[in-house]
Structure 1
Amino acid sequence: MLQQIIQTLPQVLVDGLTLGFIYAVVAIGYTMVYGILELINFAHGDIFMTGSFVGAGMLFFLLSIGFMSSVPSLILFIIIILVAAIVTGVLGVGIERVAYRPLRRKNAPKLIALITSIGISFILEDAVRFIAELKTGNYILTAPPMFQHRFVLNVHSVFPFFNNATFQSSFLVVSIVTIIMLISLDIFVNRTKWGMAMRAVAQDRETASLMSINVNRVISVTFFIGSALGGATGVLFLIQYGTIDPYIGFILGIKAFTAAVLGGIGNIRGAMFGGILLGVLEMFAAANLSIITNNAMDSGYKDVFAFIILILVLIFKPEGLFGKAAVEKV
């Protein structure tokens, strides 16, 4: 049994990193908003879904006008991901101004904002489903293949106890773009004035406003960046997996939120690590659960495995792997 598990580790790592990168970027959207507003924005998973549909719509439009045949796939991909990021970024800002800012001005309980975010999630799902069915007659879309060239990672010749791993060129695209986004965000938050303002508002919103920081503008920028990253990740999901529907944001959003909690909610680097760790754990379970349980459980139980790991981590470290225990002054 152990030998079989070890042999599949390279493929598990490749698949786990692909999924983990997607979880990581979506988790960052949750943790950025929570860090500033202490709000769990459950609509964020559906902003990710909206980005994937915007990307698919752009792809079909460019295909219909013959643009794809005359432009390299990489240029096409850059156009699509930029459009999806801008659209979802603006959508995120609009949601904040229409749904969350009025509640904040009235000092509404946080539970009200949480319920509002759930309502927005359902609105986005049904709106996207309506538009997709109106335009295509079906709310499940399959995108034309991009970056489908297959590679073989020849691990076995160097380490005979491992099997070779295979991956498509889309894995490289997803990995490189995700790493660029994560590094850029880390630099933005830690090295720029806007990032400093975001950290100040997250630490103490009232004091930041007294120091001439426009809190509402900082919150809008936070929503724009988090939503734009989520929409761009939706395009990466589309490129990697090909098929999307209006409900992919729900379960993926829950898992990304889980990744944010696992890494330490409010900690951006923790969300990155938590997403990658969750993706690898999920793929490990999908590949090996049937072996470990002697066929009593199959890959369909991979979500259970991932959430059991989360529960164990939170039992022994409730603030998450990279979070800091909150100290309340009495």
Structure 2
Amino acid sequence: MSFISYLLNGLSLGSVYAIIALGYTMVYGIAKMLNFAHGDILMVGGYAAFIAFNSMGLPVVVAIPVSMVVCTLLGITIEKIAYKPLRKANSLSVLITAIGVSYLLQNLAQIIFTANPKSFSSFVGMKPLKLADGQLTISGETIVTIVTCVVIVVGLVTFINKTKAGQAMLAVSEDKGAATLMGVDVNGTISLTFAIGSALAAIGGILLCSAYPTLTPTTGAMPGIKAFVAAVLGGIGSIPGAFIGGIILGVLENLAKAYISSKLSDAIVFSVLIIVLLVKPTGILGKKIMEKV
């Protein structure tokens, strides 16, 4: 039963990584830029939910949308101020800007909330599920996190393939110039992408802090990096790839902690990424892009 328990915990952690990775993969797939401040938007979502629930006394069903709205507005603002002027700049400039935005958010959080960790109350009210005569206990956080991740992935795939806004995203991801000629609002589409990715970061932050109830200004740093790894592992730009990459990463990390070493788990995870990219540089579901000369 221990293995099943570790596996389920890994699926839960991987689901959080997958939700965060979806933001990375959507922004890269459509805007062709890496938003390394994405993990810190997760942190802001955690603090917004904490304030709404603990300080303002709002119920969970209100605190979650409040957190999503805060992160959505933050994501759109960051895109307008920091990334839009660099739309035609080289990738190094965008990368440096993203890192700068990340440190800006972390330091602002330290000034506003201090570096002292906050005790985050779980937003999941579901009772643990006991199976096999009580030998296997599945926490409510684990069940809700996995189900939420699956629903989000299915919803995103449906949105991209079945809606006009989703088709616009696909057009922009293929060719911004051609999309503009066809009447697609490129700037609006990219802003919508940042909005969706940031709202997902808020959900990921709430689920992460519910499972690991400590919130600090650097809460989103390592999960953000691992979610980026998950996106690359699954094939950055692919929504199903982000899901698969996140699940694989979470399961590997949890099993490595349980059976090898908790200190070496991160090294093992990143080593697997290196091996996969050596064998398939585009990731599991990534497609090779032919560069035009």
Same topology, TM > 0.5: yes
CA RMSD of aligned residues (A): 1.7
**TM-score scaled by structure 1?**
0.84
Match of 1:294 in 2: none
SS in 2 for 1:271: helix
1:83 is matched with which residue: 41, 66, 79?
Answer: 66
Describe the superposition over 1:158-211 as per-residue Cα deviations: whole angstroms up to 9, x where unpaired.
xxxxx9432222222222222222221111111100000001000101110111
Counterparts of 1:211 and 1:30, CA distance in 2: 26
Paired residue type of 1:139: N
Query: 5 Å matches for 1:186-205?
Result: 186-205=157-176
Match of 2:285 in 1: 322
Gap runs ≥5 in structure 2: none
Match of 1:51 in 2: 45
SS in 1 for 2:130: strand
Query: 5 Å matches for 1:19-34?
Result: 19-34=13-28
Match of 2:98 in 1: 117
Counterparts of 2:151 and 2:232, CA distance in 1: 23
1:256 is matched with which residue: 205, 222, 227?
Answer: 227
Match of 2:79 in 1: 96
* CA shift for structure 1 position 102: 1.3
The yes-or-no answer on 1:243 pairing with 2:214 is yes
Counterparts of 2:92 and 2:227, CA distance in 1: 21
The yes-or-no answer on 1:173 pairing with 2:151 is no
Is the 8 Å Cα contact of residues 153 and 239 (structure 2) preserved in structure 1? no
Counterparts of 1:34 and 1:62, CA distance in 2: 36
* CA shift for structure 1 position 300: 1.6
Match of 2:7 in 1: 13
Match of 1:293 in 2: none
Gap runs ≥5 in structure 1: 1-6, 68-75, 158-162, 290-297
Describe the superposition over 1:206-244 as per-residue Cα deviations: whole angstroms up to 9, x where unpaired.
110111101000000000000111112111112221111
* CA shift for structure 1 position 148: 6.9
* CA shift for structure 1 position 53: 1.0
Is the 8 Å Cα contact of residues 235 and 286 (structure 2) preserved in structure 1? yes
Match of 1:73 in 2: none
Identity rate, percent: 42
Counterparts of 1:264 and 1:272, CA distance in 2: 10
Larger Rg: 1 or 2? Answer: 1
Is the 8 Å Cα contact of residues 82 and 232 (structure 1) preserved in structure 2? no
Paired residue type of 1:225: I
Which one is further off, 269-278 or 175-184?
175-184
**TM-score scaled by structure 2?**
0.95
Is the 8 Å Cα contact of residues 23 and 276 (structure 1) preserved in structure 2? yes
Is the 8 Å Cα contact of residues 18 and 175 (structure 1) preserved in structure 2? yes
Counterparts of 2:83 and 2:119, CA distance in 1: 34
Match of 1:295 in 2: none
2:127 is matched with which residue: 126, 141, 149?
Answer: 149
Counterparts of 2:165 and 2:287, CA distance in 1: 23
SS in 1 for 2:21: helix
* CA shift for structure 1 position 128: 1.4
Is the 8 Å Cα contact of residues 10 and 164 (structure 1) preserved in structure 2? no
Is the 8 Å Cα contact of residues 13 and 280 (structure 1) preserved in structure 2? yes
Is the 8 Å Cα contact of residues 11 and 164 (structure 1) preserved in structure 2? no
Query: 5 Å matches for 1:265-304?
Result: 265-289=236-260, 298-304=261-267
Counterparts of 1:221 and 1:209, CA distance in 2: 16
* CA shift for structure 1 position 329: 4.0
Counterparts of 1:245 and 1:145, CA distance in 2: 15
Match of 1:4 in 2: none
The yes-or-no answer on 1:41 pairing with 2:35 is yes
Match of 1:311 in 2: 274
* CA shift for structure 1 position 116: 0.4
Counterparts of 1:325 and 1:34, CA distance in 2: 15
Is the 8 Å Cα contact of residues 56 and 238 (structure 1) preserved in structure 2? no
* CA shift for structure 1 position 62: 3.7
Counterparts of 2:189 and 2:126, CA distance in 1: 40
SS in 2 for 1:166: strand
Q: Go from structure 1 to structure 2 and tell me whether the alpha carbon gap of 1:306 and 1:131 turns closer, same or farther (over 3 Å shift).
A: same
* CA shift for structure 1 position 80: 1.7
